[in-house]
Amino acid sequence: MWNAVWKALANYPSEWSLVHKMKKTFFRLRRELSPWPRLPGGAHFAACHFCDTLHEAEPLAEGKAALCRCCGEVLYQNRPASLARVTAFSLTALILMVVVNLFPFLVMDGAGIRTTLNLVSGAKALVASGSPLLGIALALFTIVTPLVLASGLLYVCAPLMIGKIAPGATHVAKWLNRMEPWNMIEVFLLGVLVSLLKLDKVADVNFGMGFWAFGVVMLCMAAAVSGIDRDELWDRLEVARK
Amino acid sequence: MSDRFPRAVEMGLAGCQTCGKVSPLVLGRCPRCDSKLFMRKPDSVRRTVAFMLAAAALYIPANVLPMMSMVEMGVVTENTIIGGIIYFWQGEAYPIALVILTASIIIPLLKMVALTWLCLAASGKIKPSPGTLSRIYWLTELMGRWSMVDIFVVGILVALVQLGNYMTVSPGPGALAFAGVVVLTMFAAISFDPRLLWDRFDALQIGSSPSKEIDS
């Protein structure tokens, strides 16, 4: 049952919609402008991450995924316009981060005092009230990781669009890969929602502009991270380096 | 051998964990991204078990000790995780109670059960069924971060509720323990190598035990 669901998710049939046709034309044009470089040398291989089965890696059409013939997990994908997507979304996320820091997340009126919460105040309050470790963890997962992830993706992917490699980009790409699971923007947003409900009876709490901006940052980061086509990115890095 | 798919390791090849390039294991480092090449993640089962035991040990103080203490008009109330859930349940905020119950109690518990099961299967103590178990591993990796929500709530409440004499909130020792549980189980999931399950499975098919090198 799960196999069927997984396969359906991996190559969903979206050929019917008009949007898809427009996207297809756009991607064809884009592909012709900067094609995915094929590496020199003979056959290329891919090993499944789950069962280590060796496959000969054949080029895929955009939007398709290759599944492992042994365990059925996704082996590799050709994600459409990955570099353009990653660049656009991570740039948007970075710009919005500035907005997030200018406006409060939550505004609370209680007992005649107005308190506001912004991105850094949670971490700062934890450090100030005697839990520096928790404060550092909070800052790492909700501020540092998203910032580094977005700027790193931009640093690696933007020059690659014109076939250039930024200095040290391979190292940056390697570390971005390891940082990915520690980006917890969406969990923090859920935390803001839970706190709002928790304080509802005590005081008058309202969402600020920062909350909505951070919501968009979350969507952008999710789009950027899921836009990364690992194989294409590394093939391009390898070709650009030579 | 003939009815089985060829594994990369049998040909002395290793897929890079970072960039995916398949290169000969003897190179030691991936020629493309310069990460270390491994046949399997080093000491996978042992590391996973160690992280998990540490997490299990911290899980007790995380649930017993208060996550935060609230001072309201001079009266101190200490909130544990379960206390928070009961508070929402009694206030008839069922969805939010369920969210916290899932994120803070069920996910960490399920994660530890799943990782124990995976480690037992990978070390050959119980029969491996790699298809299902890989899916469980994938879910474990995906769900782990959501447990962090309670820590973030503590942080937000501490920052917001500083109303002088009327009401203040400060973090409790349980919060640190719980953050430890989440981070340690995430490390445990990252250290586990699902390919070990298939090694076991293959070994059972052939009827021998996997070589010592792969086992470690």
> What 3-state class would DSSP assign to B77?
strand
A83 pLDDT exceeds 90? no
**Which of B 70-129 lie inside 8 A of A, CB atoms?**
84, 88, 91, 93, 96, 99-100, 103
Query: Do A42 and A109 fall into the same domain?
Result: no
pLDDT in tens, A84-130: 888 889 999 999 998 888 888 888 887 677 878 888 888 888 888 88
B114-162 confidence digits (pLDDT tens):
999 888 888 877 877 877 888 888 888 888 888 888 889 888 888 888 7
Summarize the confidence of residues A65-88 as an average pLDDT. 83
Range of the domain at A160: 82-241
Judge if A59 and A99 occupy the same domain.
Answer: no
Smallest Cα–Cα separation from A143: which of A118, A120, A126, A173? A120
Amino acid at B155: G
Cβ–Cβ gap B7/A52 under 8 Å:
yes
Q: What is the pLDDT of residue B215?
A: 44
| Inter-chain CB proximity B171 and A129 less than 8 Å | yes
Q: Give which of A5, A44, A52, A228 to mutate to test B binding, by max B Cβ within 10 Å.
A: A52
The one-character DSSP state at A139 is H
Half-sphere exposure of B12 (CA within 13 A, CB side): 4
Q: How many percent of chain A have pLDDT more than 90?
A: 14
Distance from CA of A79 to the nearest CA of B (A): 15
Does B56 reach chain A within 8 Å, measured CB to CB?
no
Q: Looking at the structure, tell me whether residues A130 and A58 fall in a common domain.
A: no
Report chain B's mean pLDDT, rounded to a whole number. 83
What is the per-residue pLDDT for B181?
92
What pLDDT was estimated at residue A13?
A: 58
* C-alpha A41 chain-centroid distance: 32
Does residue B211 have a pLDDT over 60? no
**Mean of pLDDT values over A43-55:** 82
A178 & A70 share domain: no
Rounded alpha-carbon distances, angstroms, from residue B69 to A65, B81, B128, B172: 50, 12, 45, 6
Q: Are A66 and A89 part of one and the same domain?
A: no
Band the pLDDT of B178: cuts 50, 70, 90: very high
Domain boundary among A53, A77, A101: A77
Separation between Cα atoms, residue A53 and residue A3, nearest integer Å: 17
Q: A152 or A83: whose pLDDT is higher? A: A152
Return the ∠ at Cα B119 (arms to B116 and B124), rounded to 5°: 125
For residue B2, name the pLDDT band (cuts at 50, 70, 90): very low
- B1 band by pLDDT with thresholds 50, 70 and 90: very low
**Pair A90, A72 in one domain:** no
Whether residue A32 has pLDDT greater than 70: no
The chain A residue lying nearest B150, using CA atoms, is A191
Domain total in chain A: 2
B171 to chain A, minimum CA–CA distance in Å? 7
pLDDT digits (tens, 9 = 90+) for B34-93: 888 888 888 888 999 999 999 999 999 998 898 888 887 778 888 888 888 888 888 877
| Residue B184 pLDDT | 93
Give the residue on B whose Cα is nearest the Cα of A1.
B132
Is the domain of A111 the same as that of A230? yes
pLDDT score recorded for residue A10? 64
Q: Give the pLDDT score at B104.
A: 87
B27: pLDDT confidence band, cut at 50, 70 and 90? confident
Q: Do B152 and A108 touch (CB under 8 A)?
A: no
pLDDT of A200 above 60? yes
CB-nearest to A126 from B33, B155, B164 is B155
Report the pLDDT value the prediction gives residue A149, as an integer from 0 to 100.
Answer: 92
Distance CA A192, CA A197 (A): 9
Q: Pick from A77, A103, A124: which residue ends a domain?
A: A77
Write the residue in B9, B144, B159 that is nearest to A122 by C-beta.
B159
pLDDT band at A42 (very low <50, low <70, confident <90, very high): low
Q: Token pair of B151, please?
A: 């820590």
Q: Residue A78: CB partners within 8 Å, gap ≥ 6?
A: A36, A59, A60, A61, A62, A63, A64, A65, A229, A231, A232
A69 with A115, same domain: the answer is: no
Which of A55, A77, A99 is a domain's end point?
A77
Q: Are residues A88 and A106 in the same domain?
A: yes
Tell me the chain B residues in contact with residue A123 when contact means C-beta distances shorter than 8 Å.
155
Of B18, B138, B24, nearest in space to A68 by CA:
B138
pLDDT for residue A23 is more than 50: yes
Are A86 and A70 in a shared domain?
A: no
At A228 the pLDDT is: 84
Domain check: are A54 and A87 in the same one?
no
Whether the full predicted model's pTM is greater than 0.95, yes or no, is no
Mean pLDDT, range A193-215, rounded to an integer: 84
Check whether residue A124 and residue A222 sit in a common domain.
yes
For residue range A130-179, list pLDDT tens digits in order: 888 889 999 999 889 999 999 999 998 888 877 778 888 888 988 888 88
